[in-house]
C-alpha cells in the first residue's frame, strides 16, 4: 500500500459540524478517494477532524489538490505525525477543553428545546441528540478522572533497554519489503553472539529520531547514547587499508569508523561489483555496531533475569553446582560480574555447566577478581584457541620500562589497593600499541602482562585501543604456537 503509486490528501472539518463531515466523506468517495485515517486535532479556536484520504496515483500530470503527498516512506512519516507523544498534562488540558465544548453543545440543545414553536419530530430529534451528547459528556468526564489518577503514572515507569535510533533518510532499512533489512540482521547478530559467546542480547527497539543528522544512527543503552555513526544506503563501506592503491573519487564519502578508529570509505554499490573484497552494506555496518556495542556494554545490558537463566540451565543439569555455591560462596552480583567480565573480553560462557564446575572448584577465592583469574586460567586453552590465526598467536608484551610505569599505577595503602592513573602515560602506551597494530597489519592487538595487573590493564587500555585483548602471562599455554612480535 505504501509505495510510489499512492496519493494522499488531508482535509479538515469542525468536529461539531456533522453535516460537513458527511458531505466531505461523500465528496471524496465520489472522486475515488478512500479514507486512510480520521483523528481529532486542536486548533486555536476549535477542535477539528483531520481526514487523510488515499487513492492510486492518477496518470494526469497536474491536479487541483495541491496538498497531495507522494513519498515512499509515507507510512513512517504518517505514523510519526499521528502518534506524536502527548504528556499527561497536555492530555488533561485537551479533555478539559472537550468537556467545555461539549457543555456548550448541550446548552445550545437545551435552549432549542425551550422553544414553543418546535414540532413533535423536532423535539424527538433534539431529545435524541441531547441523550447522545450527555453520554459523550459522561465519557469525557470519566476520561478526565482516569487521566488525573496517579495510577496512570505507573505505566510510564518503564524503559527500553536497547534501542537503535535512525534518521529519517535511513528508515527504509527496517522496511519489511527489503530482504536485506535491520530486523533480520538483528536476528543474525543475536544468533552469532549466542553461538560464539553464549550471550543472548535482549530485544532491540528501532525508532525514528529528529535529533540525528542526515544518514546517522545511534545506539542507546538504558536511554543513554553509547554510540553514533553514519551509513549510506546503496553504498558499501570499506576500510581504506583493504583497498590498496584505491583513491576515493567524487561522490564517495570518507569517514572515521567510530568502532575501530580506522578510516573507512563509502562507495556506490554499482562501482564495487568487481571488487576483490565485499565491504559492508548499511544494514551490515549497523549490525556490526550492534554486535560490538553489545559486547562493550554487556555489564549494563545483562541483568539479573539474564543471570538467572544461566542458573536455571545449570539447575536442570546439575543442581548440586548451584546449591553448593549460591549464595553461600558467591552472590548473584558476583556471578553477574564474572559472566560480564568474561563476555566483555570475548571469552565464551556457552559451556555454562563447565564454567559452574570451575566456579565451584575456586569458590573459596578471597575476592571476585581472584575468582575471575582462576576461572580464566581454567579456560586458557579455549581462550588461546579462539585467538589463534593460522595456528599462531602473535603477542605484544611490555618492556621493562613500560611495566614499571604501569606497575606504578598500583599502590598498596593500608591494606587497600589504590590506582592512580596518569592519563599521559596511558595515552603514550596506547599510541605505541596502535602504531604496532598498523605496522604489523594486525586486526587485533594481543597484549601479555602479569596476572596480577591483567584485568585492570584491559579496563584502562580498552578505553583507548578498541581492538585489544589482554592475556595474563600464565594463560599462554605451552603447547600453543606463541610468537612475541614486539615490545611496547
Domain match, 367 and 464 both: no
CB 421 within 8 A of CB 405: no
Is the residue at 332 inside a domain? yes
| Locus of grid cell 488515499 | 54
Pairing of strands 445-449, 393-397: parallel
Query: What is the per-residue pLDDT across 311-326, written as a single tens digit (0 to 9) for each?
Result: 999 999 999 999 988 8
Clarify whether residues 172 and 228 are in a common domain: yes
Q: What is the CATH number of the domain that holds 325?
A: 1.10.8
Distance from C-alpha of 275 to C-alpha of 236, rounded to nearest angstrom: 11
CA 278 from centre of chain: 26
CATH number of the domain where residue 417 is located: 3.40.50.12790
Whether residue 69 has pLDDT greater than 80: no
- Res 54 pLDDT > 50: yes
pLDDT attached to residue 51: 86
Domain boundary among 297, 326, 345: 297
Is residue 357 predicted with pLDDT exceeding 90?
yes
* 449 DSSP β-pair partners: 472
Residue 284 sits in the same domain as residue 182: yes
**Pairing status of strand 216-221 against strand 235-239:** unpaired
DSSP SS3 for 306:
helix
Are 408 and 365 in a shared domain? Answer: no
**Domain co-membership, 236 together with 284:** yes
Q: Does a structural domain hold residue 417?
A: yes
Residue 1, domain member (yes or no): no
Q: Give domain status of residue 221, yes or no.
A: yes
For residues 41 and 194, which has the higher predicted lDDT (pLDDT)? Answer: 194
- Is residue 362 within 8 Å of residue 372, measured between CB atoms? no
Task: Give me the half-sphere count of Cα atoms (radius 13 Å) on the Cβ side of residue 399.
Answer: 8
Q: How confident is the model at residue 81 (pLDDT cuts 50, 70, 90)?
A: very low
Tell me what pLDDT residue 212 has.
94
CA 172/CA 289 separation, integer angstroms: 18
Pair 460, 426: CB distance under 8 Å: yes
Which of these three, 297, 317, 346, is where a domain ends? 297
- Tell me if 360 is assigned to some domain: yes
CATH number of the domain where residue 167 is located? 3.40.30.60
With a cut of 90, say whether residue 231 has pLDDT above it. Answer: yes
Say if residue 92's pLDDT is above 90: no
Q: Report pLDDT digits (tens) over 429-463.
A: 999 999 998 888 888 899 999 998 999 999 999 98
Is 55 among the domain residues? yes
pLDDT digits (tens, 9 = 90+) for 165-209: 999 999 989 887 777 789 899 999 999 999 999 999 999 999 999
Domain holding 10, by residue range, is: 6-82
Q: Over 70: is that where the pLDDT of 65 sits?
A: no
Q: Indicate the Cα dihedral angle 176, 180, 184, 189, nearest 10°.
A: -150
Q: Are 374 and 401 part of one and the same domain?
A: no
Number of domains in the chain: 5
Whether residue 92 sits in one domain with residue 77: no
Which of 61, 82, 103 is the last residue before a domain boundary?
82
Helices (H) and strands (E) in the chain, counts: 17, 16
pTM: 0.71
322 and 272 assigned to the same domain = no
Over range 283-287, report the average pLDDT.
96
- Tell me whether residue 58 is in a domain: yes
Q: Which of 402, 400, 385 is nearest to 351 (CA)?
A: 385
Q: Same domain for 313 and 273? A: no
Is residue 319 in a domain? yes
Judge if 71 and 135 occupy the same domain: no
167 and 288 together in one domain: yes
What is the C-alpha end-to-end distance of the chain, expressed in Å? 61
Residue 280 has pLDDT above 90, yes or no: yes
Would you call 377 helix, strand, or coil by DSSP?
Answer: helix
Which residues does 356 contact at the CB level (< 8 Å), separation at least 6? 314, 318, 321, 322, 325
Q: Are residues 425 and 483 in the same domain?
A: yes
Percent of the chain with pLDDT over 90: 41
Nearest to 288 by CA among 408, 440, 449, 467: 467
pLDDT band for position 238 (50/70/90)?
Answer: very high
Amino acid at each position: 500500500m505504501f509505495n510510489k503509486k499512492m496519493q494522499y490528501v488531508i482535509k479538515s472539518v469542525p468536529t461539531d459540524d456533522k453535516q460537513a463531515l458527511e458531505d466531505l466523506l461523500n465528496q471524496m468517495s465520489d472522486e475515488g478517494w478512500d479514507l486512510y485515517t480520521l483523528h481529532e486535532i486542536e486548533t486555536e479556536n476549535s477542535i477539528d477532524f483531520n481526514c487523510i484520504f488515499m487513492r492510486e496515483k492518477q496518470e494526469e500530470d497536474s491536479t487541483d489538490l495541491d496538498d497531495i503527498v507522494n513519498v515512499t516512506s509515507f507510512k513512517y512519516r504518517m505514523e510519526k505525525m499521528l502518534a506524536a507523544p502527548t504528556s499527561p498534562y497536555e492530555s488533561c488540558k485537551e479533555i478539559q477543553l472537550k468537556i467545555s465544548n461539549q457543555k456548550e453543545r448541550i446548552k445550545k440543545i437545551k435552549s432549542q428545546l425551550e422553544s414553543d414553536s418546535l414540532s413533535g419530530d423536532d423535539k424527538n430529534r433534539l431529545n435524541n441528540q441531547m441523550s447522545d451528547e450527555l453520554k459523550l459528556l459522561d465519557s469525557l468526564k470519566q476520561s478526565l478522572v482516569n487521566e488525573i489518577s496517579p495510577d496512570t503514572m505507573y505505566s510510564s515507569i518503564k524503559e527500553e533497554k536497547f534501542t537503535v535510533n535512525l534518521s529519517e533518510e535511513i528508515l527504509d532499512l527496517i522496511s519489511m519489503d527489503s530482504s536485506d533489512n535491520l530486523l533480520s540482521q538483528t536476528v543474525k547478530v543475536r544468533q552469532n553472539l549466542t553461538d560464539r559467546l553464549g550471550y543472548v542480547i535482549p530485544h532491540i527497539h528501532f525508532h525514528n529520531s529528529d535529533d540525528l543528522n542526515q544518514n546517522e544512527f545511534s545506539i542507546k543503552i538504558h536511554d543513554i547514547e553509547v554510540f553514533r555513526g553514519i551509513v549510506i544506503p546503496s553504498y558499501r563501506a570499506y576500510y581504506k587499508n583493504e583497498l590498496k592503491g584505491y583513491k576515493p573519487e567524487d561522490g564517495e564519502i570518507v569517514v572515521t569508523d567510530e568502532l575501530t578508529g580506522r578510516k573507512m570509505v563509502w562507495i556506490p554499490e554499482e562501482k564495487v561489483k568487481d571488487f576483490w573484497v565485499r565491504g559492508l552494506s548499511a544494514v551490515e555496518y549497523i549490525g556490526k555496531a550492534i554486535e560490538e556495542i553489545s559486547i562493550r556494554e554487556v555489564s549494563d545490558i545483562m541483568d539479573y533475569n539474564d543471570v538467572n537463566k544461566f542458573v536455571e540451565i545449570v539447575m536442570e543439569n546439575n543442581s548440586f553446582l548451584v546449591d553448593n555455591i549460591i549464595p553461600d560462596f558467591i552472590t548473584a552480583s558476583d556471578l553477574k560480574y564474572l559472566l560480564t567480565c568474561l563476555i566483555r573480553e570475548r571469552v565464551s560462557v556457552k559451556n555454562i555447566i563447565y564454567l559452574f564446575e570451575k566456579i565451584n572448584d575456586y569458590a573459596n577465592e578471597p575476592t571476585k577478581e581472584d575468582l575471575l583469574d582462576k576461572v580464566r586460567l581454567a579456560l586458557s586453552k579455549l581462550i588461546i584457541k579462539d585467538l589463534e590465526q593460522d595456528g599462531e598467536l602473535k603477542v605484544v608484551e611490555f618492556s621493562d620500562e613500560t611495566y614499571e610505569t604501569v606497575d606504578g599505577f598500583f599502590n598498596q595503602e593500608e591494606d587497600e589497593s589504590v590506582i592512580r592513573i596518569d592519563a599521559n602515560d596511558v595515552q603514550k602506551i596506547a599510541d605505541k600499541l596502535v602504531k604496532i597494530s598498523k605496522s604489523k597489519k594486525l586486526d587485533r592487538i594481543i597484549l601479555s602482562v602479569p596476572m596480577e595487573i591483567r584485568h585492570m590493564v584491559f579496563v584502562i587500555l580498552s578505553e583507548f585501543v578498541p581492538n585489544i585483548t589482554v592475556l595474563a602471562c600464565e594463560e599462554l599455554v605451552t603447547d600453543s604456537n606463541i610468537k612475541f612480535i614486539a615490545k611496547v
